Every structure is written in C-alpha cells, then in structure tokens.
Homo-oligomer: A and B are copies of this chain.
Amino acid sequence: MHHKKSFQIEFQPLGLRDRFPSGQSLLDCARQKEIDLVSLCGGTGTCGKCKVQILKGSVSEPLQEERKLLSSEELFSGYRLACKTHAKSDLVLNIPPESLSAPQRLQVEGLDIPVFHDPFIRTYPVSLHAPSLTDLRGDDQRLVDALQEQHGVSCNKLDESVLQTLSPFLRSTGWEASVAVRDTEIISTVPLDSGNLGVAVDLGTTKIAAYLVDLASGHTLSAKGIMNPQISYGEDVIARMVYSQRSDKGAQTLQKMVVDALNNLFQEFCQDVGVKQTEGINEVVVAGNTAMHHLLLRLPVAQLARAPHVPAVSRSMDLKGRQLGLSIAKGANVHLLPNIAGFVGGDHLAMLLAVLAEENPGPMLAIDIGTNTEISLVTEGMISSVSCASGPAFEGAHISCGMRAAKGAIEHVRITDNQIQYHVIQDARPVGICGSGIFDALAQLLSQGLVDKGGRMMDDHPLVRKGQNGLEVVLADEIDGSAPSVVITQKDVRELQLAKGAIRAGIDILLKENGLLAEAVNEIIVAGAFGSYLDISSAVCIGMLPKIPLDRFRQIGNAAGMGAKAVLMSETKRKKAQSLAQEIQYVELAGDTGFQRIFMEALDLG
C-alpha cells in the first residue's frame, strides 16, 4: 500500500502527517504538503532559513553547510536545515514559527467588552534627595518617603529584587525613577517614562493568544497568537500530563517551552511599541485550562490526570514572574485565574467574565469548543458548568486527512447535485481538512443522503467508494501521484459522531439538571478559535448544537482572551472573577445517572 522505501513524517505544530519516499529532502516533503518553509536560497543550503527540529526518529548526518549555519547548541537540540536533511526512519518534526512563511491562522480577536479601567498597578514619577551627612536614611526609606510626600502613596513593602539593585540604580539616574506600585508594594523602579505595560495571556492547549495593554490608558497596544510549543510533546492535555509525570525533567521541559514562548512574545510586543526592555511589563494575567495552568506552574498533575480529576490548585494565584523565569519587571507578578474544576479552567471562567459583562437576556449557554469542550448554562442567579471530552477531531487529529486550520486545509464543503465544492485556506492546493471543514462535510453528507442518521455510509451512493480503509467519500482528487486525495472515511464519521455526541450530551445534561428545554434558551454563545470558523447551521444540522433559531447563536471569537484582559485592567473585574468562580456549580458528567443514555442518544446525527 505504501512505497517500499518510504517513511511517515509528522509535521508539528501543523498536525500534518504523510509518507514520503526515502532520500527526499525534508524541504521537498514539506513543499508537497503545501507547508511554506522559508527558503531564500531555494534549497542550496546557504540561507539557513529552513530550520526544523527533529523531535523523534533518525535523519541523515549533518553536512558541512549545516555545521556552518547552525550553532552546536542548535545541532545538539536537533535543529537541522530541511533542505539538506532526509529521513532515515519515521519522524516527528517541529517547525519553529520563524521557519514558516505563512503563519497559521490564530484567532486573537474577540468580543469587545466594556471594562471600567481601574488597574491594579500604577506608576509614579519620583525625584529623591541625595543622601548627605544630615540625611542618612536608607535608600529604601528614601524611596518610600518620596512616594508618600510627592504622591500621597503609602507603601509598606519593597520587592526584594528591586532592593537588590535600588542603590546603584538611583545613583545612576540622578535620584529619579518611575516607581510601579502594586497594592502597597513597590514592584519596580525604572527610568522615567518607561511606561506601565501589562500582558494578558489565554494559554490554550493548542494556541496561545496574548495582548499587550497600556495599564495607564487601558488601551490594547498589540495582540498576537502563536501555537503552544508543548504540542510537540503531545496534542492533548493527557499526553502532556503523562510526559510531565515521567520525570522532573519532563515537567521542567514543558514549563520552559511555554515560558520561553511567552518571553519571546513579550520581546516582540516591546519591539512593536518601541520599548527597549520587557522590564516595563508590570503584570501578567494568565487564563488557561486547568492542565495548562498546572504545567505552567509545575504543579503535580497525577491527581488531575486520574478520576476524580482534582486540581492541585483551584484558587487564584499571584506569584512573582521571576519564579517562573518570565522576563518582566523585577518584582512583577503573574496572576492566574481560578480553576473551576479539573477540566474547567480559568480560560472558561475568563470567557464567562467577558460574556457576563453584558446584559443577560435570560437562560444562556456559553460553549468553548475544543479537544475538551466546556459548557456553562447561565440562568438567573445560577451558573452550572460541565466539561466534555470531545477529543481532538476539531484540530484534525484522528481524522484520516485531518490537519489544523493552516494553508492547504479544506475549511468549507458544499455538495449539490452530487458535485462537491470546497474552499481551501489561502486558496492553495488541498492537502487536508480542518475542523470547520470536517463538520461542514458531515452536514453535507447527511443532508445529501451519503450517510444516514446512525452515521452509516451508504455504499450504493455514487459519491461513496470503497477505499483502502473501507468506505470513503473523495473530497479532492489525487494530483499526479505526488499529493494523495483528500477523503472522509466511515471511520472519520464515527470519530465525528463521538465528538459531537459528547458536546450535545453535555448541553442536554445541563438543560436537564436545570429543568429547561432547549427552546427556553435565549442565547447560545460559541467561543474560541474553532468556534469562530464553525458553520453554525452545519453544527445544528448534525445535532451537535440544539435546533433553535439561528439568530439566537452568537460566535464571539477569543472571549477568554478578552476576559483575561479585563482582569488585567481592572481590579473590579479581578474581584468579579473570584466571586464568579465561587458561584459556579460544576456538574460531573460521570456522576450523572442518566449520562450513558443521554450520550447514546446524542450520537445520532440530526
């Protein structure tokens, strides 16, 4: 079925996999999958731009060109030039963002919510008296007194790493400084006019979205999205938790990957706004799912990975960024939003915070679709939440031609008169299908009678053929032997049924527990990156979402990021997040007696 001499290569973080003939350069393999690796020299090994990292498997020995262009540290960490390297076994590769010319589509925008701007951290310019024989106050006291005299601000604590450089710093600036105060603690002293910046982070399993905020004005200065680099150690949270438990080094590695990625983001942010040093960042707020939260802090995850899935930490946390290795102001803190449960984290809370900033029109469902899907039902004076293991199908995993929403992915499908039409991201040659495309396709297969309500493919339909792995529908034909066809298989349909069934069961249980019918729900909010690209009518068609009028649905983008930003900018919102976390009733599906039956019913399409 495959060429005799060929190897399987998996490209991360794109989630693309295929077999390629041995001896072919990794650059050529990538090109075949429409992956735009930067290659200024056209593959002659002189520009050094097509760096990839070998995570698993063995490759050819480094050539002279590579030894010249890659540092020994890079070679040691498995970095190679794709144009000069070929596979010697099956491989898993990591493509660093700088090697990709067409970055992945990463949602950072979301619902714009009104936030009263009352930041936790303020900065003050001060001018101190130099010491003399008649003024021998310690430098710490001198600073505290100046803040009191010049701004009426009382501080009772100075961060110890501020103290460690305060004396030479004040003498170098002529006794002038911009002082950042958090509550009653001095967390930073920097030269005058260094700004007062904050960063909000939505730390997802797949994606990290970050927002640079001017804490003085409340304005968002920049927003960026990147892939979570931990993805090369596992696409889902379970794989990563297992990896982190293997050894202390495993946990360290995962932590460092995210910390390094955040530090890079901070650096880019500061460059964007013309600030030289990331020391101007006075606070970071992180909203993440419970597993990402724990891996970032290197908290124990054994109890989180096993039933009944208890978080080590559910309360909000504040700790000095330096403890995690974050390059921010010396005494700056990281605030982590509370976790609601083992599989409902601070990101869902942040989303709810964003959603509930608006007038609540009555019973509302708020859904965060992903590998793990969190759903909250908000009724008057009551919020209940569930978590459903919807699996990685939305990210293209476990789907025969699945991939993430990147160049070459089929993202929309229509079937009319046995003619299949599709749209490919960046209008490229189709190489796979991403989450929104998969659900679109399933809805079309169902409405056009290619599959029945039970999910069975109709082998007598003209578009259904018998492929190597059973029944399948070809969406895009094979091209000249080099690019295989893009298909949806019977097995893919079963995967999708499990995913959509889990989500629908979660919704139905919440409604049942609250004694509500779907029709009573006034609004269904679909949040998250995947949720933004999802065709709601397709989702309703296959029965993933309840059949209520389409105008009651609202796709709001990255609301978790917006909520994290609100917590960064406003003390009021920070307190609101705390009280929300207390209010929410978590409903454990495994504890619901009717769950099995409801889940079985939810597997049906339509």
Contact = CB atoms under 8 A, between A and B. Distances in A.
A303 B171 contact: yes
B310 A136 contact: yes
Contact of A139 (B137, B140, B171, B310): B310
Contacts of A140: 311-315
Contact of A138 (B136, B138, B139, B313): B313
A265 to B, nearest CB: 23
Copies in the complex: 2
B319 A137 contact: no
A309 B591 contact: no
A223 to B, nearest CB: 29
Contacts of A139: 303, 310-313
A300 B141 contact: no
Interface string A72-92: 000000000000000000000
Interface in A158-178: 158, 160, 163-168, 171
Interface in A256-291: none
A131 interface: yes
Contacts of A131: 303, 308, 310
A133 B320 CA distance: 34
A438 to B, nearest CB: 32
Contacts of A520: none
Interface of A: 131-134, 136-141, 144, 158, 160, 163-168, 171, 297-300, 302-303, 307-315, 317, 319, 323, 339, 341-342, 586, 588, 590-591
A574 to B, nearest CB: 14
Contacts of A315: 138, 140-141, 144, 158
Contacts of A319: 160
A139 B297 CA distance: 15
A133 B165 CA distance: 50
B591 A299 contact: no
B133 A588 contact: yes
Given A133-B307, A138-B311, A160-B319, 9 more contacts: A133-B308, A136-B588, A137-B310, A141-B315, A163-B299, A163-B312, A164-B299, A167-B299, A167-B302
Nearest to A307: B133
A139 to B, nearest CB: 5
Given A134-B591, A160-B323, A167 B586 contact: no
B168 A136 contact: no
21 contacts: A132-B308, A133-B308, A133-B588, A133-B590, A133-B591, A137-B310, A138-B315, A139-B303, A139-B311, A139-B312, A140-B314, A140-B315, A141-B315, A160-B297, A160-B317, A160-B319, A163-B313, A166-B300, A166-B312, A167-B300, A167-B303
Nearest to A168: B300
Contacts of A311: 138-140
A314 B307 CA distance: 52
Contacts of A168: 300, 302-303
Contacts of A158: 313, 315
B303 A141 contact: no
A342 B139 CA distance: 11
Nearest to A303: B167
Contacts of A136: 308-310, 341-342, 586, 588
A141 B342 CA distance: 13
Residue from A134, A163, A168, A319 with most neighbouring chain B CB atoms (10 Å):
A163
Nearest to A301: B167
Contacts of A313: 138-140, 158, 163
Contacts of A164: 297-300
A372 to B, nearest CB: 16
A136 B171 CA distance: 54
Contacts of A171: 303
A293 to B, nearest CB: 11
Nearest to A170: B303
A145 to B, nearest CB: 11
Nearest to A342: B136
Closest 9 CB pairs of A and B: A138-B314, A138-B311, A167-B312, A133-B591, A167-B300, A131-B310, A140-B313, A167-B303, A160-B319
Residue from A133, A166, A341 with most neighbouring chain B CB atoms (10 Å):
A133
A264 B297 CA distance: 31
Contacts of A586: 136
A108 B315 CA distance: 45
A338 to B, nearest CB: 9
Given A133-B590, A133-B591, A163-B313, A138 B300 contact: no
A21 to B, nearest CB: 48
A164 B295 CA distance: 11
A316 B156 CA distance: 10
Nearest to A139: B312
Contacts of A166: 300, 312
Contacts of A591: 133-134
A310 B140 CA distance: 10
A303 B169 CA distance: 11
Residue from A136, A164, A314 with most neighbouring chain B CB atoms (10 Å):
A136
Nearest to A161: B323
Contacts of A309: 136
A324 to B, nearest CB: 10
Nearest to A312: B167
Residue from A133, A138, A163, A308 with most neighbouring chain B CB atoms (10 Å):
A138
